[in-house]
Structure 1
Amino acid sequence: MSFPQPALHSLPLFVRMAGRAVILLGDGEPAEAKRRLLERAGARIVGEAAEAALAIVAIEDETEALAAIARLKARGVLVNAVDRPDSCDFTLPAIIDRSPVIVAIGTGGASAGLAAALRQRLEALLPATIGPLAERLHALRAAIRLSYPALDARRRALGAAFAQGGALDPLRADPAAVGAWLTTPAAPSDQFVTLRLRSPDPDDLTLGDARALALAERIYHPASIPSAILDRARADAVRIAADAPPGKGESGLTIWMEWA
């Protein structure tokens, strides 16, 4: 059976804002900061009376802010309320821009300062070449599909290429490496890997364990494996609670977890 996962606090979404109407209420620096961000994304900023699906309320007065939030929500508008996380339908993350690659860091409104600190740390890790690498992959997407016609095979091949030390390691690869990688396509093999866990702490996973979890299509595991470790796998990987490893091979990468 599938293992139930804890509910996500929020589902991250990337919304194309160019030309989209967004209501912005309030004044002062909090409102101006949101205005700059919306303008950078190409949004069309409007007042409360306008038709819009999204709104940001940056009003300092509590009574006035709550009244505005109530009016907007009554219309079905999704609201971000500055410094009022309990009133937010959506939050605005800290952003690392390596266009077209965008990394968003959110805390569900718990701490904007923590999100900002994480952004600063990650900024130093992500090279400027990530954006051009993404553009090169986009330009050669037809050639990649030709080399790997099957979706599963294509996903596994790219996953292996993007792994640390791989041909397209995002933290090291030159965008020109995409063409060289395509000249020698390798058919990804089906694999079965056993991970022997030393503790229930996900920080004790080895680098190899973490890489395998990031690439696995499915994970078989005893019910005693904590969700904190299963959460390190791909979000769309199939998680299957079982008393023993599967008896037959499956396509792609399959993992069996057990205690060491």
Structure 2
Amino acid sequence: MNSACPMISSLPLFHRVAGQPVIVLGSGEAAEAKRRIVERAGGVVVDDMQEGIDKGARLAFIACDDPDAAQGDAIRLRCAGLLVNVVDRPELCDFTTPSILDREPVLVAIGTGGASAGLAKALRLRLEALLPQSLGELARKLGGARSALRERLPDAGERRRALDGALAASGPLDPLDENAANCVDEWVASGTSGRGGGVVEVVLRSADPDDLTLREARLLGSADLVAHEPGVPASVLVRARADASRVAIATGETPRAPDGLVVILRA
């Protein structure tokens, strides 16, 4: 099994532009679409390059029919320290704009690295049908309950495991349940505790992470420590929480179990 680290083409980020200048150059439908995106995020559209640079803009969109002019503008803006998006020219882009599913403050951004905006839109529309409008309210309620939850569960690991359990499918705060937001206060007040730790072994059937069962994928995504034998592919390891500890072990070895959930991946 290949353990090389899988690469992604872009680093997904959410960029806050509210009240900030953003350069949008060009005219026509494509330029107007970029202006709407900027304004929707609270940014201040500036349509003059030098004015935007002087005002400290950090992002720029270029929607120009002349490819040479677009490339020249991109070079000048990049030399001034801005990140640049050139419509329909992914090779000139420092960033691309995803298809956005809005459940403010929950935002789901779907990107294809500029390969197919149509595919990104199709995926967004599928997800629109799955994610209820109440998802944003659930996020706000959880944010408001953060202090109370921290007081009830001071240990960060236990707090995270409690949230993992509550937010799991069919849990009391299942994000796909339209009534979940109404249950947050009751759940926090109930004295719920995190799921216990322990050691769970997962024997891989192949190098394909899609061959993980739903239970195995859930455990891997909740683990505090992931111990993996030689030959476990990085494509499986990346399914673990980004902040979970990882340790390589010898074939057949069982590590000492610290507090929390340990998942042992065996090739």
TM-score (norm 2): 0.91
Residue of structure 2 equivalent to 1:141:
146
Q: In structure 1, what residue type is equivalent to 2:49?
A: E
Residue of structure 2 equivalent to 1:10:
10
Q: Secondary structure at the match of 1:104?
A: strand
2:262 and 2:10 mapped to 1: Cα distance? 28
2:193 and 2:201 mapped to 1: Cα distance? 24
Flag structure 2 segments of 5+ consecutive residues without an equivalent: none
Asked if the contact 1:136/1:175 (under 8 Å) is kept, the reply is: yes
2:240 and 2:226 mapped to 1: Cα distance? 8
1:5 and 1:240 mapped to 2: Cα distance? 15
Residue of structure 2 equivalent to 1:175:
181
Q: Does structure 1 residue 159 correspond to structure 2 residue 160?
A: no
Asked if the contact 1:218/1:238 (under 8 Å) is kept, the reply is: yes
Q: Secondary structure at the match of 2:215?
A: helix
Residue of structure 2 equivalent to 1:45:
45
Percent of matched pairs sharing the same residue: 49
Can you list the C-alpha shifts for 1:207-258, whole angstroms capped at 9, x where unaligned? 1011111111221112212222222222232332221444311122111011
2:75 and 2:43 mapped to 1: Cα distance? 23
Q: In structure 2, what residue type is equivalent to 1:257?
A: L
Q: How many residues align?
A: 257
Flag structure 1 segments of 5+ consecutive residues without an equivalent: none
Q: In structure 1, what residue type is equivalent to 2:58?
A: A
Residue of structure 2 equivalent to 1:231:
238
Q: Secondary structure at the match of 2:73?
A: helix
2:92 and 2:253 mapped to 1: Cα distance? 45
Can you list the C-alpha shifts for 1:84-107, whole angstroms capped at 9, x where unaligned? 111111111110001111111111
Residue of structure 1 equivalent to 2:208:
201
**Are the structure 2 counterparts of residues 199 and 6 from structure 1 closer, same or farther at C-alpha, using a change threshold of 3 Å?**
closer
- Post-superposition offset of 1:4: 6.3
Alignment of 1:1-260 (within 5 A): 5-46=5-46, 47-49=48-50, 50-51=52-53, 52-172=57-177, 173-182=179-188, 183-243=190-250, 244-259=252-267
